[in-house]
Each structure stands twice: as structure tokens, then as C-alpha cells.
Chain A
Amino acid sequence: MKFGIVVNEGPYQHQSSDSAYLFAKAAIEAGHEVWRVFFYHDGVNNASKLTEPPQDDRNIVNRWTKLAEEHKVDLVVCVAAALRRGIREENLATGFRISGLGQLVEAGTKSDRLVTFGD
């Protein structure tokens, strides 16, 4: 089954990034495809390569990058939401791309299931 995921909250501030990641991982482990994760609202902060958590904490940004590299997950950051919050090409982590809201609509039309994580 083809899953799309939406993440609406920033990492560390809210659990939604962790929940979304763990859901994506479980879906892949069960043999499903997670073809796209769309980051919206403060969720765009998941894509900042300037993120530097303490050593003993999980690295949420790198976790997404690894998921994209290993499982071809398309990590899309909403351009309008990103520009508002200072996320641009210059500080975009590997595996993410910036694009328009049309990609979210497409995640809705082309996924068998769309699961949203937010506040």
C-alpha cells in the first residue's frame, strides 16, 4: 500500500515529528511504500540542516535524511511555509526538497492513505 504522510509541527517542540517518523518506519517494515512526506506549518523546521541536538538526544533531521536515502522517500517542504520560517535551499538538509502545496494535493490524490501528524 502507498502511504503519504503530512507533518505539521516542528521537531523537538512537539511529538508529531517523532510519531510521523515511527509510523513511516513501521509502514516500511511491514512492506508498504511511504512515497512522500510533506512538511507544512512549523513542520518545515524538520528540514533545517542547522539543527544540532545534544549528543544524547535523537537527531530528528538526520533520521529523515536516512529514511529518504534508504527507502526513496520524497521529503517535500512547503515553499511558502518554509520562506516564512527561514528555511531555504542554503540550510536545507540532504534528502529534502522545497516545492509548492500542489505536492500536498498530489500526496492526497496519489496515496492509498494519507496520514497527518500535528498539534
Chain B
Amino acid sequence: MSDVKKFMFVNRKAPYGTIYALESLEVVLITAAFDQDVSLMFTDDGVFQLKKGQQTKGIETKNFSPTYRALEGYDIEKLYVDRESLQERGLTEDDLLVDVKVLSRAEVGALMDEQDVILSF
């Protein structure tokens, strides 16, 4: 595809309770495969998607959290987390299973302004 746009995926929902996080990740991978400029933003309950140590055997559901670690292999390296959302949930960067850039809300807002397409599910 010749036209490259800046796509940001804003994740505000926790995993497993609903399918949004998993199906959002599927779009992220395809968007990167189409050579678009992809970034992921995790805010509100969306930060729970990146929590280390997810064990899903007991709910008989696939643990898709390793996929976040595989994103680098698809050249998806822009992962951002809203600091306030982490703090509100008693989490720190050490609780997360991938390297992310932790941002203030002002920084998140400025980054959103740079995007061509913002998708949220």
C-alpha cells in the first residue's frame, strides 16, 4: 500500500472479561503487515492487558498476552502507557510484560494529535 498513515490503537478495556483486547490485537498485527505506522496506547483498564503473569488455564481461554511480546517482531515498537492509569490500579512499569514508554496525560494528548487514524474497540 502506497499511502502510509499514522494509526493509533487506544486500548481502554481489560482482557478476558470481553473479547475487545484480543480482537484489537488482531487488527494491530494486520495494520503493521500493511506497512502502516502503528502505535499502541494503553489507558484506563487497558493497562491490565500488559500485566505480567496471566494464567488462563482455569478459564479455559487462550492466554494471548505473549503476543504483546511478539509485537517487536512485526516492527511494532511504539507502545505507550498512561502513567495515571497505572497508578490508579496499583501497578508500576515493573508489572508489565513488555517495554513501554510511560507518559503523562499531556504527553498522551499531544501524541493523539499527531495521528491520522485513531481506532478504539
Contacts and interface: CB of A to CB of B under 8 A. Distances in A.
Physical contact A–B (CB less than 8 Å): yes
Interface of A: 6, 8, 40-41, 80-81, 100-102, 104-106, 108-110, 114, 116, 118
B3 interface: yes
B20 A6 contact: no
How large, as a class, is the contact surface on chain B? 20 to 34
B121 A102 contact: no
B56 interface: no
Nearest to A107: B117
B120 interface: yes
A104 B5 contact: no
B23 A81 contact: yes
Contact of A114 (B30, B117, B121): B117
A41 B119 CA distance: 13
Interface of B: prevailing SS: mixed
B20 A105 contact: no
Contacts of B7: 105, 108
Contact of B30 (A41, A81, A101, A110): A101
- Counting from the closest, the 7 A-B pairs by CB-CB distance are A101-B30, A108-B117, A105-B34, A109-B3, A105-B31, A109-B5, A114-B117
B120 A118 contact: yes
Contacts of A105: 1, 7, 27, 30-31, 34, 36
18 contacts: A8-B20, A40-B27, A41-B23, A41-B121, A80-B23, A80-B26, A100-B30, A101-B26, A105-B1, A105-B7, A105-B27, A105-B30, A106-B1, A108-B5, A109-B3, A114-B117, A116-B119, A116-B121
